[in-house]
Amino acid sequence: QLQASGGGLVQPGDSLTLSCAGSGSTLNTYIVAWFRQAPGKEREFVSQINWSDSYTNYANSVKGRFTISRDNAKNTVNLLMSSLKPEDTAVYYCAANLYATSQRASNYPYWGRGTQVTVSS
């Protein structure tokens, strides 16, 4: 099971770190991705990290502002979000699969509940 946490209400320009925790599974055996869904919009890819941390990938809209990383001691995958913008407001989900990196949500069979991120002044 996956559980996303760390969301909240922040101001533009602030930073926030989301955490995806695995229970019952060791996350470093999975490819883990973050997706987000804003009201009235489709779920979109944000970032992903492979098993060995040798590959990370970001959506163009967050490149240079967001950083994905693993904390194997805590069995978590974290998303550090900096220079947040109002358009980053969404429910953020973490997802996992065993086989291949992908930006398609349909390729991830394991999902956690989302965490709300609101960026507003």
d(CA 73, CA 103): 26
Instruction: List Cβ neighbours of 73 (8 Å cut-off, separation of 6 or more).
Output: none
Q: What is the pLDDT of residues 55-96, one digit of tens each?
A: 999 999 999 999 999 998 999 999 999 999 999 999 999 999
Q: How far from chain centre, in Å, is Cα 28?
A: 15
Whether the per-residue pLDDT at 1 is higher than 90: the answer is no
Per-residue pLDDT band for 115 (boundaries 50, 70, 90) equals very high
d(CA 106, CA 121): 34
